[in-house]
């Protein structure tokens, strides 16, 4: 083979190898950018729980509050729809961990009732302010409370991002509000099928 053909052929082989190394994720890949899943909280049955209780499967971590009028229910609804589009043998391997950053109003009982509207694989979690601050700092998200307009009536600002952890507890994906259900479902299936 002459040198004039060898270089373009080598470039083509390298490009083909790079393209087949792995297709991009449909949601945001955060592999290696965030710490593994770790927390100490209270579950929706009032029991202390750590991230170890959720080993195996894929965990979706979302921060919100049950009095949220729109974003939290819409986000959980979208996650549940994406989970429902998975093949039946994979659905049970996806858990949604909903962390309330409003422990004043969101007792374990109210969390259990509220998350129950979305299905049994949605787990309500909360904690005291120190535990919540530790967890939100770990994943670089913020939350805050608005002015109380009446006893027990105030708004809570919070991140709308959803962190996706693989079965080993490693942070792998970040889901954003504009990610379509089909993209979320496809990435969850891909993550569950990884060797």
- The string of DSSP codes covering 102-171 is -TTT--HHHHHHHHHTT-TTEEEEE--HHHHHHHHHHTT--EEE---SBTTB--EEE---EEEE-TTS-E
**pLDDT for residue 178:** 94
Instruction: Please choose, from the candidates 111, 139, 113, 143, the residue with its C-alpha nearest in 3D space to the C-alpha of residue 126.
Output: 111
Instruction: Please report the pLDDT score of residue 76 as a whole number.
Output: 97
**What pTM does this model have?**
0.86
- Does residue 10 form part of some domain? no
Q: Is residue 5 part of a domain?
A: no
pLDDT at 4: 52
Residue 20 CA to residue 16 CA, distance in Å, equals: 6
User: Total structural domains in the chain?
Assistant: 1
What local confidence, expressed as pLDDT, does residue 117 receive? 95
How confident is the model at residue 16, as a pLDDT? 40
| Within-domain flag for 99 | yes
In a domain, 3, yes or no: no
CB count within 10 Å of CB 118 equals 17
CATH assignment of the domain containing 114: 3.40.30.10
> Does some domain include residue 66?
yes
Average pLDDT per consecutive 10 residues, the chain (195 residues; last block may be shorter): 47 40 89 96 97 95 94 96 95 96 95 94 96 95 90 88 96 96 98 86
In a domain, 8, yes or no: no
Domain of 85, in residue numbers: 25-193
Domain assignment present for 69: yes
User: Given this model, what pLDDT does residue 15 score?
Assistant: 41
Please answer whether residues 46 and 111 qualify as being in contact, where contact means their C-beta atoms are separated by less than 8 angstroms: no
Task: Give the Cα separation of 60 and 93 in Å (integer).
Answer: 11
């Amino acid at each position: 083979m002459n040198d004039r053909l060898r270089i373009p052929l080598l470039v083509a082989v390298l490009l083909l190898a790079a393209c087949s190394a792995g297709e991009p994720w449909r949601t945001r890949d955060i592999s290696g950018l965030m710490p593994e899943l770790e927390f100490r909280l209270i579950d929706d049955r009032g029991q202390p729980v750590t991230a170890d209780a959720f080993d195996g499967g894929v965990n979706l971590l979302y921060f919100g509050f049950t009095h949220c009028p729109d974003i939290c229910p819409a986000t959980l609804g979208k996650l549940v729809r994406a989970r429902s589009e998975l093949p039946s043998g994979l659905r049970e391997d996806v858990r949604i961990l909903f962390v309330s950053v409003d422990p004043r109003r969101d007792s374990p009982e109210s969390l259990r009732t509220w998350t129950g509207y979305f299905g049994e694989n949605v787990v309500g979690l909360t904690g005291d302010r120190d535990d919540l601050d530790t967890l939100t700092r770990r994943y670089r998200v913020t939350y805050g409370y608005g002015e109380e307009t009446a006893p027990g009536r105030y708004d809570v600002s919070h991140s709308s991002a959803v962190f996706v952890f693989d079965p080993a507890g490693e942070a792998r994906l970040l889901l954003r509000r504009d990610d379509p259900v089909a993209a979320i479902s496809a990435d969850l299936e891909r993550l569950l099928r990884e060797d």
